[in-house]
Amino acid sequence: NAGVTQTPKFRVLKTGQSMTLLCAQDMNHEYMYWYRQDPGMGLRLIHYSVGEGTTAKGEVPDGYNVSRLKKQNFLLGLESAAPSQTSVYFCASSYSPIVEQFFGPGTRLTVL
Amino acid sequence: TQLLEQSPQFLSIQEGENLTVYCNSSSVFSSLQWYRQEPGEGPVLLVTVVTGGEVKKLKRLTFQFGDARKDSSLHITAAQPGDTGLYLCAGNNAGGTSYGKLTFGQGTILTVHP
């Protein structure tokens, strides 16, 4: 089993460009999450999903959109990238909201 | 908004020393998790504590959940270079508007020198 995978691993964007980050899990988990990690700020929740076809806002949702069309995939979109979105993005999944979250390896995004 | 204050933010020690990392909040959590993250990788769960006053041991690591379930600590005995990494606490509230979401502390970067 691959667990949680993220595509791409690295990306450099110019201000105003758009992109989509893909997260895939093969553990049949209902819950999926997108976080961003910045120095000294831990992990902050962007959006999450409690099941296929559902999404909800987290702590820092502005500038991001998500979709969960298939249970195993959770997409994070940036419509118009800004330098403030330079960060490392982590996807996670879990079978229940009160147990362990399994994290992907992260995507390092730089917006110039 | 629930907040978790983690301290210290940085810790640099010599091999063999003991250390404690603290995680404090004014909010009550139904459970608290500790994760460890190595450079270039995602966090990996070390332990989950659920009951107030609970103590769990994982080899040289001891985790404690406060009686009021508002704080937690991680104690490492005789630290080794392999313990180097980022340690994150994360609180889980099983009810209300925070259901299904973890609140993370800022993290503690631990460096253990040989």
**Cβ burial, residue A81 (10 Å; 0-12/13-18/19+):** buried
Q: What is the largest CA-CA distance in chain B?
A: 46
If you compute the radius of gyration of chain A from its CA atoms, what whole number of angstroms results? 13
Q: Which residues of A touch B41 (CB under 8 A)?
A: 105-106
Return the pLDDT at A39.
Answer: 86
Which of the pair, B39 or A111, is modelled with greater confidence? Answer: A111
Predicted local distance difference test score (pLDDT) of residue B98: 59
Query: What are the φ/ψ torsions at residue A89 (nearest 5 degrees)?
Result: -105, 130
Distance CA A59, CA B5 (A): 16
Residue of B nearest to A57 (CA): B101
CB B93 within 8 A of CB B30: yes
More confident residue, B21 or A41: B21
pLDDT confidence of residue A105: 96
Q: Give the three-class secondary structure for B114.
A: coil
Inter-chain contact A41–B106, Cβ cutoff 8 Å? yes
A89 interface with B at CB cutoff 8 Å: no
Chains A, B: CB contacts within 8 A come to: 57
| Per-residue tens of pLDDT for chain B, all 114 residues | 668 999 999 999 999 999 999 999 998 888 899 999 998 899 999 999 999 999 999 999 999 999 999 999 999 999 999 999 999 999 987 665 556 688 899 999 999 999
Amino acid residing at B77: T
pLDDT at B93: 75
